[in-house]
Amino acid sequence: MKTERASHTATLLNNAVVLMAGGYGSSKVDLAGAEMYNPATRTFAPAGDLRDGRANHTATLLNNGMALIACGTHDNDDGAAASVELYNLAGR
């Protein structure tokens, strides 16, 4: 990975690429960044940012090709991230 992360999601997309989103970075701060992993080439590429940094969340691929990113935790207040967002994968 380009960015070290833990407690992130890994979502297999319809094109066999894996979306790696959010998680905690090495400084224990939640990340908003995302990356695409291509298993065929074993490479990672930046994939933009989530609206909110979060870890321990869920990511579900929807029929429309978007990913539903839901809940999780925030490190700065050690509380629940009670929000959701649609991550548009088109053009990434």
> Could you give the CA distance from residue 39 to residue 9 in angstroms, rounded to a whole number?
16
Please tell me the pTM assigned to this model. 0.87
Let me know if residue 1 belongs to a domain.
Answer: no
Let me know if residue 2 belongs to a domain.
Answer: no
pLDDT reading at 92 higher than 80: no
Let me know if residue 4 belongs to a domain.
Answer: no
When divided into structural domains, the chain yields a total of 1
> Could you give the CA distance from residue 62 to residue 24 in angstroms, rounded to a whole number?
24
Let me know if residue 48 belongs to a domain.
Answer: yes
pLDDT, greater one: 76 or 37: 37
pLDDT reading at 78 higher than 80: no
> Could you give the CA distance from residue 37 to residue 83 in angstroms, rounded to a whole number?
25
Closest CA to 53 of 21, 79, 77: 21
Q: CB neighbours (10 Å) of residue 39?
A: 10
pLDDT digits (tens, 9 = 90+) for 7-53: 999 999 988 999 999 999 888 888 999 999 999 999 999 999 998 88
Let me know if residue 92 belongs to a domain.
Answer: no
Closest CA to 92 of 29, 30, 11: 11
Contact 87, 51 (CB under 8 A): no
Please tell me the number of Cα atoms within 13 Å of 41 on its side-chain side.
Answer: 8
